[in-house]
Amino acid sequence: MNLRAEAVDALQTRLGHRFADPALLERALTHASAGQTVDRVRHNERLEFLGDRVLGVCIAEALLERYPTAAEGDLSKRLNVLVSGATCAAVARALGVGPALRMAGGETRNGLRDNDTVLGDACEGLIAAVYLDAGLERTAGIVRALWAEAMARLDSAGVLNPKSQLQEWAAAKKRGAPAYKVLGRTGPDHAPEFTVAVEVSGLAVATAIGGSRQAAETAAALALILREGITE
């Protein structure tokens, strides 16, 4: 068994699901860089589209049960954090998705196996693959198990405002204020995408994408918080 096959096997063990249709799992783990060239396996972008919606339903239902008296606004804030790319990337890392990904060799050298966007997209693709393989009830149970730690952390209200939490943590650690920098802007005027980096002294830079500069800054702060295990 080669290293990637071992990683895929270990991922299924951590996921708690063995695929009846292994082709679904393979597609979920295939990055676009390899999807058009390797054994005609389609890449995971279409599964990512479906997985985003399935994940939203599973998390929304779990939140309604966990917070029976919460207002819609509070539930929406929690939902946004839990389905964010940063949270999906953190779940993917815990599952060991990176080593199991199928991608062009050059992309591996470029560090994409540990890229938040790539991992988050693969995580959503994986959720869709489970849904297609085993149905919604099974998927909901797996999502609740995988997101249990993130949900527990949301009981600390600071995570609902990642920029404030990061700023307060940095000040307490005497690291200075977080610095945000726009790395790029793409897309049409009616649907722009901003890529933003956040830097805190002594920590590696975290980047994220959002539909506005503010959204991207919030996502970058959350990515850093989740990566470093920052708590209040």
Q: CATH no. for residue 64?
A: 1.10.1520.10
Same domain, 62 and 93: yes
Same domain, 201 and 140: no
Same-domain status, 115 and 55: yes
Q: How far apart are CA 10 and CA 27, in angstroms?
A: 17
Nearest of 33, 55, 54, 29 to residue 44 by alpha carbon: 29
Rounded distance between C-alpha atoms, residue 69 and residue 164, angstroms: 25
Residues 137 and 168 in one domain: no
Q: What pLDDT is attached to residue 198?
A: 95
Domain endpoint, select from 131, 155, 179? 155
**Are both 167 and 126 inside the same structural domain?**
no
Percent of the chain with pLDDT over 90: 53
pLDDT > 70 fraction of the chain, expressed in percent and rounded: 91
Residues 218 and 189 occupy one common structural domain: yes
The DSSP call for residue 176 is -
Same-domain check for residues 190 and 141: no
What pLDDT band is residue 10 in, cutting at 50, 70 and 90? very high
Tokens of 130: 């489970």
Say which residue, 106 or 20, is predicted with more confidence.
20
Of 155, 172, 202, the position where a domain reaches its end is: 155
Domain of 18 in residue numbering reads as 3-155
Crossing angle between the packed helical segments 213-228 and 85-95, to the nearest 10 degrees = 30
Task: Evaluate if residue 166 carries a pLDDT over 50.
Answer: yes
Q: Are residues 127 and 15 both part of a single domain?
A: yes
C-alpha distances in angstroms, 65 versus 54, 61, 81? 17, 7, 17
Which positions are annotated as active-site residues? 52, 124
Are residues 8 and 90 located together in one domain of the fold? Answer: yes
- Average pLDDT score over the chain: 88
> In total, how many domains does the chain have?
2
pLDDT tier, 41 (very low <50, low <70, confident <90, very high otherwise): low
pLDDT value for 207:
87
pLDDT band, residue 38 (cuts 50/70/90): very low
Candidates 91, 89, 121; CA nearest to 103 is 121
- Side-chain half-sphere exposure of 207, counting CA atoms within 13 A: 15
CA distance 227 to 89: 9
* Among 8-12, 58-62, 100-104, 181-185, the least confident range: 100-104
Cβ distance 201 to 178 under 8 Å?
Answer: no
Higher pLDDT: 21 or 222? It is 21
Same domain, 145 and 164: no
Cα 130 to Cα 142: distance, rounded to the nearest angstrom:
9
Q: Which token pair is 192?
A: 């722009």
Token pair recorded at residue 150 = 């993130």
Select from 128, 155, 182 the last residue of a domain.
Answer: 155
Is 176 in the same domain as 108?
no
pLDDT above 80 (res 126): yes
Locate tokens 């959720």: which residue? Answer: 127
* CATH code: domain of residue 194: 3.30.160.20
- CA dist 39 to 72, 125, 131, Å? 46, 19, 24
Q: What angle do CA 207, 208, 213 make, to 5 degrees?
A: 110
Predicted confidence at residue 113, as pLDDT, reads: 87
Same domain? For 118 and 185 the reply is: no
